[in-house]
Amino acid sequence: MIPLSHFLILSAIIFTIGIVGVLTRRNAILILLSIELMLNAVNINLVAFSHYLQSITGQIFVFFIITVAAAEAAMGLAIIILIFRGKAFLNVDEINLLKG
């Protein structure tokens, strides 16, 4: 049996990679992928604790997180495609459409 600490370490590594990706990348698609990595790290934590505590609530939360992540990916990609059609770039620093 794999101890809980191994899952927590794996989750921390994946979450750290996601944070670094969000903070250092300029491409909008790569930022969305980094957010997905962070959500998957949280899912690993929830499933590991759910198994460790013999409770199903963590797995129920994972189901909702996966649903929210799918909606986030669909809406984020739709927004990115619309911006790319209008401006022909995906660099986050150059997007100033939301400034009033």
- For residue range 37-91, what is the model confidence (pLDDT) as tens digits? 999 999 999 999 999 999 999 999 999 999 999 998 899 888 888 877 777 666 7
Angstrom distances, CA of residue 33 to CA of 21, 26, 27, 74, 97: 8, 12, 10, 12, 22
For the beta carbon of residue 15, count every other beta carbon within 10 angstroms. Answer: 18
6-46 pLDDT, tens digit each: 999 999 999 999 999 999 988 888 888 999 999 999 999 99
Long-range own/partner contacts, residues 22-28 (CB < 8 A, 24 or more apart)? 25/92, 26/91, 26/92, 26/93, 27/90, 27/91, 27/92, 28/76, 28/80, 28/83, 28/90, 28/91, 28/92, 28/95
Q: Which domains does the chain have, with CATH numbers?
A: 4-94 (1.10.287.3510)
